[in-house]
Amino acid sequence: MPHTSLPQEPRPELDERSLQDLVQNNQLHAALEWLESNPPHVVADELARTDAVTASMAFRLLDKDRALTVFEELEPVDQQQILQGLRDQSFLELVEAMDPDDRARMLREAPAKVAKRVLAGLSSHQRRMTAALLGYPEGSVGRYMTPEVVALGQDLTVGQALGVVLAEGNEAETVYTLPVVDHTRRLTGIVELRELVLNPPDTLVSALVVTEPAYAYAADSAEQAARLMRETNDLNLPVVDSEQRLVGLLTIDDALEVIEAADTEDVARQAGAAPWAGHYMAASVWQLARYRALWLSLLLVAATLTVSVTQAFEGTLEQVAQLAVFIPMLIGAGGNAGAQAATACVRALAVGEVRGSDLLKVIWRECRVGLVLGGLLAALGMVVGTLFVGADVAVVVGITLVLICGWAATIGGMMPLLAKRLKIDPAVVSAPMVTTLVDATGLIIYFLTAKAVLGV
């Protein structure tokens, strides 16, 4: 039985010969064998790594059912590449078979030409579904929810409810969470399919209903809704409009995608790079460079502040040339302390441990944490300083480390919360941004301390 196991080691089939090699060398029989012997998510992975032409050639080798499964596991950008290589008939079949929420997600990122071709080919029912999802703002729950839901009336028995599931369930993406609605389609509760299956047919559904379920509005942020699901451990979250009427369900696999995408975005932002949706190996050098260029340039311009600070103290530097020797170490330490604080606070905000209103508390904690760490580093730094230069400069280095770390941690902790209060994404307060800010102010602290201690 050829099971799909976890990749323990680099998969041997891939290392022998990659799909890309096989297709490019026209070994289509071997490629076909490879495509059939690997599970859909591995095929999808491999397609995402190859260039557009190879990917659509390989995709056309898949049989119809498998093609849909593989297609649904691709990211939207990769789906578009595949679609562009298909003739009309296969194109339409594939798009019509997608779930409406996946289709809406793909369309959102598609160039106008692809979007038009997709919408034109849909049945009117499918087009309505997709258009409805596209009406919600970007990043909202509405864009990710599935609108095809089996909802139950209020006064059913378990037997009747199972009948409703049987009649309508084939259309729906999930039947495991069944929202209960009143006659105006307002959400009044949810019942799990599990409860229906495990109870006798004449039980009243009302006895099994959870009457205060967590839910989200279609216009809410999808990330917040997904993190709410992580907290409540629900498999599906009912989605309502502003009048509490049921409009869909957010399924947990979509919530997982949303969380992963948000985390990837936060990570990119934290390193001072624009977030993007593509596959690392499929991106060109120019694309990668473009995504990093803006921040890198802004940070360089911001760093000219350090140039003018150092120039302002050139007199001090000329009198005690040894001071220059410790500049990289000191601003490095400040940057690291600030980055640690910023990262901890951005993450705590993202997972909901800290709120915007905690600003003063966070500043007070981070300031103390920074001073404690600064004290530790000062002890180390004074040893280094004494070894390399002498006791007097070493004292300057020690005092500077305490002050810089306290200051850097305070700034690092404060900025994400300030951003949150100003309704800016806290993840934009990247570690490099804090570091660059702390670099210039840290130099001022250093030179002023030197002047005070050494009297130059």
**Which of positions 414-443 make contact with its own copies (CB under 8 A)?**
431-432, 435-436, 439-440, 443
Q: Which is nearer to its own copies, 285 or 422 (CB)?
A: 285
- Computed from CA positions of residues 98, 99, 100, 103, in that sequence, does the dihedral angle turn out positive or negative? negative
Q: Retrieve residue 243's tokens.
A: 């009048």
Q: Retrieve residue 30's tokens.
A: 């071997």
Q: How far is CA 6 from CA 3, 41, 213, in A?
A: 10, 11, 36
| Residues 181/151, Cβ–Cβ less than 8 Å | yes
Shortest spacing between CB 58 and its own copies, in angstroms: 18
Q: How far is CA 242 from CA 216, 246, 364, in A?
A: 10, 10, 39
> DSSP secondary-structure letter at 137?
P
**Residue 189 to residue 35: CA distance in whole angstroms:** 45
Q: Which is nearer to its own copies, 129 or 273 (CB)?
A: 273
Q: Which is nearer to its own copies, 112 or 321 (CB)?
A: 321
Q: Is 78 in the site for its own copies (CB under 8 A)?
A: no
Q: How far is CA 78 from the centre of its chain?
A: 18
Interface positions, 343-402, toward its own copies (CB under 8 A): 343-348, 351-358, 361, 365, 368-369, 372-373, 376-377, 380-381, 384, 388
Interface positions, 264-303, toward its own copies (CB under 8 A): 264, 266-268, 270-273, 279-281, 285-286, 288-289, 292-293, 295-297, 299-301, 303
Closest CA relative to residue 239, chosen from 162, 127, 133:
133
Q: Which is nearer to its own copies, 54 or 270 (CB)?
A: 270
**Residue 77 to residue 93: CA distance in whole angstroms:** 19
Interface positions, 183-242, toward its own copies (CB under 8 A): 187-188, 193-194, 197-198, 211-217, 220-221, 224-225, 228-233, 235
Q: Is 319 in the site for its own copies (CB under 8 A)?
A: no
Residue pointed to by tokens 């562009």 = 84
Shortest spacing between CB 22 and its own copies, in angstroms: 17
**Residue 452 to residue 360: CA distance in whole angstroms:** 31
Size of the site for its own copies (CB under 8 A): 142
Interface positions, 133-172, toward its own copies (CB under 8 A): 162, 165-166, 169-170
**From 20-28, 107-115, 132-140, 323-331, span contacting its own copies (CB under 8 A):** 323-331
Shortest spacing between CB 385 and its own copies, in angstroms: 9
